[in-house]
Structure 1
Amino acid sequence: MTKLLFLPLPLLLCLALATVLTHGMPPIGRDYNTHCRCNVLESRVIPPNRLKSLKIFPPDAHCHTTEVIVGLTNGEKICLNPQSHWVAKLVQFCLIREHAQQDTLPKDIL
């Protein structure tokens, strides 16, 4: 009778191990992200006086698209559509300004 009680235990352990191995365990870390940062993209034009910061995240192993995130003066963060014409111009302007501050303006940006 006691053998019948212990029979499900190894079965449950094997099932738990198979679940962990198939789903994987992500590394423990605060900055680890397995998905894109942006779920919703905005294409509307944002006035320059409302922009506080701009971050550009190139494609990587976790997200296959370029992500453009702006911080607004009110503290809000918005994901912009990098395919939008005005966003591409904004990114180009910021890259040119950044390289000009470093006095190493690459020829291929112009």
Structure 2
Amino acid sequence: MSTKILLIVALAITVALSQHIVSESSRCLCQRVRARIVGNPSDIKNMEIFPPSNSCEDLEIIVNMNNGEQYCLDPKVKRIKEIIKKLRLKRSTTKDN
């Protein structure tokens, strides 16, 4: 009887630990973020915005430069929020036309 209980407890602990490891592993694209746009804005090829998802709970903003470099912006910075708002407004007005 005690062997069965130990086996069940060991199994429960293993499942709990594996759930913790899965929830801690983030598949976010951005490991580090910057607070501002780096370089000349005319050198920006495009910006990609990824909303929170099952694989990453963060809003991610990736800036792709014409020279192939890319970096991530911090979506919590006020200036970055303003840029995103302007992009969304611009996108919604172009969709309407």
User: Which band: TM-score by shorter chain?
Assistant: 0.5 to 0.7
CA RMSD of aligned residues (A): 2.0
3-state SS, counterpart of residue 102 of structure 1: helix
TM-score normalized by structure 1? 0.59
For the pair 1:57 / 2:81, whether they are aligned, the reply is no
Alpha-carbon deviation of 1:77?
A: 1.1
Alpha-carbon deviation of 1:44?
A: 2.7
2:32 pairs with one of 37, 40, 47: 40
Q: Is the 8 A contact 2:50 2:59 kept in 1?
A: yes
The structure having more radius of gyration, on CA atoms, is: 1
Aligned length in residues: 74
Structure 1 residue ranges without an equivalent (≥5): 1-21, 24-33, 105-110
Q: Which runs of 4+ in 1 moved over 6 A?
A: none
For the pair 1:72 / 2:65, whether they are aligned, the reply is yes
In structure 1, distance between residues paired with 2:83 and 2:35: 12
3-state SS, counterpart of residue 91 of structure 2: helix
Alpha-carbon deviation of 1:49?
A: 1.2
Q: Deviations over 1:9-44 (max 9, x none)?
A: xxxxxxxxxxxxx69xxxxxxxxxx61010010113
Structure 2 residue ranges without an equivalent (≥5): 1-17, 20-25
Alpha-carbon deviation of 1:74?
A: 1.3
In structure 2, distance between residues paired with 1:38 and 1:100: 29
Alpha-carbon deviation of 1:71?
A: 0.7
In structure 1, what residue type is equivalent to 2:32? Answer: V
In structure 1, distance between residues paired with 2:91 and 2:67: 24
Give the share of equivalent positions with the same residue, in percent. Answer: 27
